[in-house]
Amino acid sequence: MIAGSLIFVYALLICSAPLSRIMVGPMPLYFIDVLAAIVLSISISQASGIARRSAYLSIPVLLFCVALLPTSLAEMTRMGFSEPFYLLARTVLHVLTLWSLGSQLLRPAVFRRFIIGASIGLSITGSIAIMHSLPTTGPWVRANVMSVELLFPRGVATRFEGEAYLPAEVEAERGNSLVGKSNPTGMVLTTLLPFLLAALRHAGFGSAGRVVLRVALTVILLAALLTYSRATYLGLALILFAYLFLERAVLAKRLLPVMLLVVVGIAFVGPQSGLFKFDFIAAKFDLTNEQYAGNNMSRILSYTRPVELLLQDPSYLVRGAGRTSRKLREADPDAAILELNDNEMHSVFAASIFYRGFPAMVLLFLIYYRFSAASYRAMRYGRSQQSPVAWLATAAFVALLALLPHWAFDHHLVNGIGSHAHMFILFALALASTEYTRRFARAESRRAEGVGPLKPAIAGHRRVRAGLRTGSG
């Protein structure tokens, strides 16, 4: 199946090396963009259908794409046509993944291939993050993996020459990966974790697939801890809290045993050993610690300074400064464009207003709310009706819940194309969960009317024959 193989490769690449690229003239060509474009091209009819059926979710997304235009047009006026258009095209391409990927995931075989591809990709990302963090392997990873131009662009990677990267005393570092720094890495690991947990129990994988999933879960949890990212830790806490109330079987049988194994391993080595830097994260969580007072204050400023920016420059009510604004400053230090510094953009709220303008910020918040609410409603309905696909809606709701700390306290979801793409993959999974629930509800309605079931929710009715395994959520 071509579509299944394509989705497998797409999931593998977006979860392991989304920044990999080659240069075509002056512009980089990202492999993930090529795959996203191919997925879109083979899914146009299905994507348009699912977009029409889910107008409540689709309309804000379309308006969001329109809201990006004033910023891009302003950038083109200041910086020329090519780069702003290129950035706009990449952004919109990964927004459209919402419908192209969402429609493909409605085929159970394709869904399972997506999960396996994502599991392998997350295992690669987690392994790199773990090795990057540990002092014994970190220098080698930074010199031989993170410095590969094809995988990690020069503008992102830290370059090393010879043995100069070796400091006098090698210490544990935050777990970066080819996805990006520790915060984006932790976001990708934790937000896809609920889907892997649920699929392991419900999606009908064979023994090989279950081994892949179990290895991925173990690597993900250890790597998430070694990111030393507060947002990642909060996301994990929200996942545990959610499953405590929503599905204790997943918590007890799938998540806690793996977490216990990871914790026992760390305790055996010793959390105070040179392999770890948990004192660093403890200090950052301590709001009274003066060393990180400025870092903590920046999170508060990200909700106040944008308001001041709007008052000082009302043009931000229509457009943002755009991704090329920093280059404009470098070329013309006196450029008449107000801006926020990096310490004032540690939230989606602030970064959206600065880079894209007030309307795009409002629409992005509306998108997050509507997809979260739709997933929650699908979960509640599916669980009450004992739907065989309620588990997918539960996973989507928990994943969007785990996204919340990154949404509230970081900017990479806005100014990082990779994180932006991951966010819309989560929305695509949520969209697929609502569509599966709609199909189940329609089949139940037809059955109650005595008409007989239509094509049921996932390739079968209560007992799924060729699709995802039956489970009550």
Res. 33: pLDDT tops 80: yes
Whether 375 contacts 435, CB under 8 Å: no
Query: From CA 265, how far away is CA 65, in angstroms rounded?
Result: 46
Structure tokens at 106: 């409605």
Query: What is the pLDDT, as a whole number, of residue 454?
Result: 45
Q: Quick one: average pLDDT of 312-332?
A: 74
Report the 10 Å Cβ neighbour count for 311.
Answer: 9
Q: Over 60: is that where the pLDDT of 169 sits?
A: no
> Is the pLDDT score of 9 beyond 70?
yes
pLDDT in tens, 244-292: 888 777 766 667 777 777 777 777 766 666 777 777 777 777 666 666 6
Pair of tokens at residue 177: 């990966």
pLDDT at 285: 73
Beta bridge partners of 180: 177
**Helix (H), strand (E), coil (C) string for 180-228:** ECHHHHHHHHHHHHHHHHHHHHHCCCCHHHHHHHHHHHHHHHHHHHHCC
Q: What pLDDT, on a 0 to 100 scale, did the predictor assign at position 254?
A: 67
For residues 239 and 3, give the distance between their C-alpha atoms in angstroms, rounded to a whole number.
31
**399, 191 in Cβ contact below 8 A?**
yes
Taking alpha carbons only, the member of 196, 110, 99 closest to residue 466 is: 110
The phi and psi torsions of 464 (rounded to 5 degrees) equal: -80, 120
pLDDT of residue 53 exceeding 80: yes
Residue 462 has pLDDT above 50, yes or no: no
Residue 248's Cβ-count burial label (10 Å; 0-12, 13-18, 19+) is: exposed
> Please, are residues 125 and 223 in contact by the beta-carbon 8 Å criterion?
yes
Query: Given a cut of 70, is residue 359 above it in pLDDT?
Result: yes
| For range 228-242, the mean pLDDT | 91
Check: CB of residue 16 under 8 Å from CB of residue 73: no
Residue 328 CA, distance from chain mean position: 29
For residue 78, the model assigns a pLDDT of 77
| Closest to 175 measured CA to CA, from 232, 118, 92 | 232
- Provide mean pLDDT across the span 403-427: 91
**Cα(167)–Cα(178) distance, rounded to whole angstroms?**
22
What does the alpha-carbon distance between residue 426 and residue 80 come to, in Å, rounded to a whole number? 33
CA–CA–CA angle 75, 79, 80 (5° rounding): 95
pLDDT digits (tens, 9 = 90+) for 132-152: 999 889 899 988 998 888 888
Low-confidence winner among 69-78, 181-190, 352-361 (lowest mean pLDDT)? 69-78
State the Cα–Cα distance between residues 322 and 357, nearest whole angstrom: 9
Question: Does residue 293 carry a pLDDT above 50?
Answer: yes
Q: For residue range 103-122, what is the model confidence (pLDDT) as tens digits?
A: 999 998 999 999 999 999 99
As a whole number of angstroms, the distance between CA 415 and CA 322 comes to 9
Name every residue whose Cβ is closer than 8 Å to that of residue 272 and which is 6 or more positions away in sequence.
278, 279
Kindly give, in sequence order, each residue whose CB lies less than 8 Å from that of residue 76, ignoring residues fewer than 6 positions away: 84, 85
Q: What percent of the chain has pLDDT over 70?
A: 82
Percent of the chain with pLDDT strictly greater than 90: 43
User: Between residues 458 and 68, which one has the greater pLDDT?
Assistant: 68
Give the CA distances from residue 86 to residues 107, 222, 323, in Å, rounded to whole numbers and listed in that order.
32, 37, 11
Residue predicted with more confidence, 299 or 347: 347
Mean of pLDDT over the chain: 83
Residues 24-56 as b or e (16 or more Cβ within 10 Å = b): eeeebebbbbebbebbbebbeebbeebbeebee
Answer for the pair 75, 322: CB distance below 8 angstroms, yes or no. yes
Q: What is the pLDDT of residue 206?
A: 84
- pLDDT at 332 > cutoff 90: no
Tell me the mean pLDDT in the region 87-98: 93
- The helix or strand, by DSSP H or E, that contains position 455, with its residue range, turns out to be none
Q: Is the pLDDT of residue 320 over 60?
A: yes
pLDDT at 328: 56
Which residues are paired to 460 by β-bridges? 464
Least confident of 169-173, 204-208, 211-215, 228-232: 169-173
Which pair of structure tokens corresponds to residue 14?
């977006």
More confident residue, 380 or 267: 380
Q: How far, in Å, CA of 391 to CA of 398, rounded?
A: 11
